[in-house]
Amino acid sequence: MERPDCCAGIRIVFIDTEEELKSWLSGDNNLPRLRVLKGIGPKTVDYCKILVGISTSAIDRHLLNFLKMAGLTPINYYEARAIINSAVPSIRPIVNMANSKRCEHKYWQQAVDQFR
C-alpha cells in the first residue's frame, strides 16, 4: 500500500504506550517529524506533551491576550511560551481558578498587575 502524500518522507514509528509517547515527544529530533504533518503546529505539539505529563504551555489566543494585558509583546510562539512557562509558578493559583471555571476578571487583573 502506498503512503499518502502527506506522509512522504516520514519514518514510521510504532508507539504502544503513553510512556513511549512521552519519551518520543521528549526528543527534540522528533518534533520536526511531527510538525511536517498538515495541521500540526507548535501548539498541537505542546498540547500532546501536556497530555503525557511533560511540563509546558500550549499558547493560544487567550494566553496571548493575557500577555498583552500584562504589557508584554512576544515576537513569536516560542517567546510567548517561554514567558508563560517562566511565570507559571507565580500565577498557578490564578490559572487553576481559571481552569476550574471559577475565575473572575479581578483574578486575571491581579495576575497582570504583578507583572507591571
* C-alpha cell recorded at residue 42: 507548535
* C-alpha cell recorded at residue 96: 487553576
pTM: 0.66
Phi then psi for residue 105, to 5 deg, are -55, -40
- Tens of pLDDT, residue by residue, the chain (116 residues): 444 555 555 566 788 899 999 999 998 888 888 888 889 999 999 999 988 988 888 999 988 998 999 899 999 999 999 998 888 766 555 555 554 444 445 555 666 676 66
